[in-house]
Amino acid sequence: MLQVSRLCASYGAIRAVRDVSLEVPEGNLVAVLGANGAGKSTLVRSIAGVHREKTGDIVLDGKPVQKLPLHRITRLGLALVPEGRHVVSPLTVAENLALSTFSGRSRPELLDRVYELFPRLAERRTQQAGSMSGGEQQMLAMGRALMTDPQVLLLDEPSMGLAPSVIDVIYGAIAALHAEGQSILLIEQDATRALEVADHAYLLQRGEVHMSGTPEQLAHSEDIQKAYLG
């Protein structure tokens, strides 16, 4: 389980996240919704250990991780798929995936799982990542995170900038992972997609939790209806 309590994150004097508390129970998919500038990416980057200017408690499986650097948090079981993907462009698909495997912990079944989720990656395993489409790079970024065998997968805006047909593939993989029992924290602006797969959801506004509840509760809220569902 991932538990976040009273998390605050800043950029100098600017407070981007204010006293946010949330939890991701084991096997659950929890969505954080919000418009651009709501603080969603800062929140997930703070949880993952990328953003260091923060206060509050972050606990993974009973272990406090808020003071640990990114690589230590990743080894303990949090894996971030960042907004913008950030694959290693000169390397092939297979090399990118191998790069994400911890030394001495190579497990062929993890690679098989990635290729099963994303057959296109298997087809392009010798292709340079930089020559792939945005959708294929998103698949690769997710694959890299899965190669760490995470307890909790952190997805930051996985549908951003992608064609609807590619978003279908990405969300099909997210649903499959959820069905397998993978714990997921999904950061998303597309409320419709996120609420279709989530067990629980939070709405972030101006860096604060404005409301939380089941997907049904949020889908019927006036704020979500006006801002995200038309």
Tens of pLDDT, residues 130-159: 999 999 999 999 999 999 999 999 999 999
Poorest-confidence range of 12-21, 98-107, 218-227?
Answer: 98-107
> Which pLDDT value is given to residue 101?
82
Q: What percent of the chain has pLDDT over 90?
A: 88
**Alpha-carbon distances, residue 213 vs 10, 154, 194, 203, 217 (angstroms):** 26, 19, 13, 9, 6
Give the tens place of pLDDT for each residue, 158-188.
Answer: 999 999 999 999 999 999 999 999 999 999 9
Angle, nearest 10°, between helix axes 108-117 and 164-179?
Answer: 140
* CA–CA gap between residue 213 and residue 169 (Å, rounded): 27
* Average pLDDT of the chain, as a whole number: 94
Domain 2-84+148-229 homologous superfamily, CATH: P-loop containing nucleotide triphosphate hydrolases (3.40.50.300)
The alpha carbon dihedral of 107, 108, 109, 112 has a sign of positive
Under a CB-based contact definition with an 8 Å cutoff, are residues 203 and 218 in contact?
yes
**Amino acid identity of 175?**
A
| CA-to-CA separations, 155 to 48, 59, 141, 187, in angstroms, rounded | 11, 18, 10, 6
At residue 155, the pLDDT reads 98
Quick one: pLDDT band at residue 105, thresholds 50, 70, 90? Answer: low
Residue 221 has a pLDDT of 86
As a whole number of angstroms, the distance between CA 214 and CA 123 comes to 38
Instruction: Give me the pLDDT at residue 39, please.
Output: 96
Tokens of residue 6, six digits: 């009273």
Q: What pLDDT does residue 228 have? A: 65
Say if residue 41's pLDDT is above 60.
yes
The β-bridge partners of 211 are 203
